[in-house]
A and B are shown apart, each in its own frame.
Chain A
């Protein structure tokens, strides 16, 4: 179902989902063209979690993400040109090229740290919430992380601290491995996590938990609205697990786009290679959102086509911007190690 929001907001969410999708698909293309180096993780398949969830936050809320941050940054209103410039290691990247894909972290959008250390942000997020609570700012902290984080020791320590001290922090676990994850490819999640379902772990620390279908933008919107309100009201931390099905393009370490996203695909997936067709038909949150928009009668296919085309053009401009940006001066390698006030 769609979030219960006016059409303008639904279209804005649809546009962000398409922006994330086309950004990631183009990024994968740039990788295979050999135009940047370094590993990267894409957000394809999780758009209906990040976009509705982040749309519910206030401008001054404090965000922490992981190596899989591109979707979160774009959902928060980030500029795809500056994001791509960062991934390319260019001067105009959000972090001046020092962070790269894993660590792109725009402070101006409220991001305090995007950590490539699995589970590393949960104590940090609890800390930002501790600061917000003690200073009475009304902010909440949000940690966006994957299912694998729960396997790290920092995570239960953060749950315990956040719960004991009733900290205003949202732990949003994006489980993109509903039918298999962990280091053993294709293994069931319960093969790597004894506390299964995953919500058992935060629940043991008396944190209210909820599981929600992460492909269903309306369900995510409802669950997050309620939880964010409760946190802001002083109710302490919440844990939400959004369940998505891993995009088959991520089956290998280096992702492959088997079926580029189009508006047409929302209506008809028969052209998608048979081995991955089921995912696009049943588990693709962007195609589902577009389909539901059309079915609701609020938007027609032509309107979506125009929207999609504008996103495609925005991505093309972002690619040009990023590649036009020079590499940082070599002297930059030795700046920002320490702040001047010491």
Chain B
């Protein structure tokens, strides 16, 4: 199978979406934030000047505009750049888009995609490093997508746009340069987890960039004879509990890794679901490796210290085996 860099797969998805469906409009940033890959977005912009819109700095306004356009027949994909800016748009995303289908009794759909980059990006400090997926998971009506590989970013972006629901597509700049296989024609439905590495001793559940961290840890520990299975839910809403539980039944030991803050975070919810549906399958407590409950510091060693580092993941895996 052909190999693509993550950023190439993502651009290919955007290009194909624009080619295949003239209801797709791209509103906001370049989908690569400050990374050098942002410059490659210019080719799409030039090809579709009427369907790529650069709005003013008005996250509340243009997220609402995209939602209204979706209600009226378009398939807009909004780029908020960093997930921290979602807070500017919160009322339109969580109080309008998320509610419209339900409040209308199923009459009105808002098939809009809100795209953003989340997490510790290196110097983002407290106001450009948010991982809003845990808060969003507490907001019924939104689908939440977290790609972690070149194949997934392409397949999931296309499925997010095809979905009739408002979807939050949360990417991570740490993934842009990884390489991996990407089929020419592919379909990845929302709600289908992926076992990224098979193993027998411990299940490590990761999302987004932490999947790559978990894979690196698994590789290192394999040399010590510890067999780690890495499971990637890929979407939080819908959530594929079956695939997660199949792995838990096999290993009986679970570490959940993600970049949201620990309290009421993504790891907390995943752990709760596992306990509720399969407490008897567990050989020990579930361990969480999340971002510490502090605002994100700027200084490099401090930022590294609070995040779900390979070191912390490794320690949690070892503890789970004790």
Q: Using CB atoms and an 8 Å cutoff, list the residues of chain A in contact with chain B.
A: 62, 64, 93-99, 103, 105-108, 112-113, 115, 117, 120, 122-132, 134-135, 139, 141, 153-154, 157-158, 160-161, 164-165, 335-342
Contacts and interface: CB of A to CB of B under 8 A. Distances in A.
B64 A120 contact: yes
Contacts of B163: 339, 341-342
A265 B146 CA distance: 64
A134 B70 CA distance: 12
B129 interface: no
20 contacts: A64-B68, A95-B107, A96-B105, A98-B104, A99-B104, A108-B107, A112-B100, A123-B63, A123-B64, A126-B61, A127-B71, A131-B69, A131-B73, A154-B64, A154-B91, A154-B92, A161-B55, A161-B65, A338-B143, A342-B191
B36 interface: no
Interface residues of B, number: 50
Which label, helix, strand, loop or mixed, suits the secondary structure of the A interface? mixed
Contact of A105 (B66, B95, B107, B109): B107
A267 to B, nearest CB: 43
Contacts, number: 171
A126 B56 CA distance: 14
A87 to B, nearest CB: 14
A126 B50 CA distance: 17
B72 A62 contact: yes
B238 interface: yes
Interface string B81-118: 00000000001100110001111111111010000000
A339 B165 contact: yes
Given A158-B61, A160-B61, A342-B165, A105 B108 contact: yes
A139 B69 CA distance: 13
B60 A95 contact: no
Contacts of B103: 95, 98-99, 103, 105, 113
Contacts of A335: 106
A95 B56 contact: no
Given A120-B92, A141-B68, 7 more contacts: A98-B104, A103-B103, A123-B63, A127-B72, A132-B72, A157-B60, A161-B62
A236 to B, nearest CB: 15
A96 B96 contact: no
A130 B238 CA distance: 30
A127 B67 contact: yes
Contact of B64 (A108, A127, A134, A341): A127
Nearest to A124: B68
B141 interface: yes
Nearest to B96: A120
Interface in B126-164: 140-141, 143, 159, 162-164
Given A131-B73, A337-B102, A341-B163, A123 B67 contact: yes
A160 B100 CA distance: 24
A338 B141 contact: yes
A342 B164 contact: yes
B68 A128 contact: yes
A107 B91 contact: no
Contacts of A338: 101, 141, 143, 165, 238
A113 B102 contact: no
B80 to A, nearest CB: 14
A333 to B, nearest CB: 10
Contacts of A106: 107
B96 to A, nearest CB: 6
Contact of B51 (A64, A134, A165): A134
Q: Among A106, A123, A164, find the residue whose CB has the most chain B CB atoms closer than 10 A.
A: A123
Contacts of A99: 103-105
A165 B96 CA distance: 22
B68 A337 contact: no
B71 A113 contact: yes
Contacts of A98: 102-105
Closest A-B pairs by Cβ, 7 of them: A123-B64, A127-B68, A157-B61, A95-B105, A124-B68, A96-B105, A131-B72
Interface string B16-54: 000000000100000000000000000000000011010
Contacts of A160: 56, 58, 61
A107 B65 contact: no
Contacts of B111: 339
A97 B107 CA distance: 12
B125 interface: no
B61 A107 contact: no
A272 to B, nearest CB: 38
Contacts of A120: 64, 91-92, 95-96
Contacts of B140: 337
Nearest to A86: B105
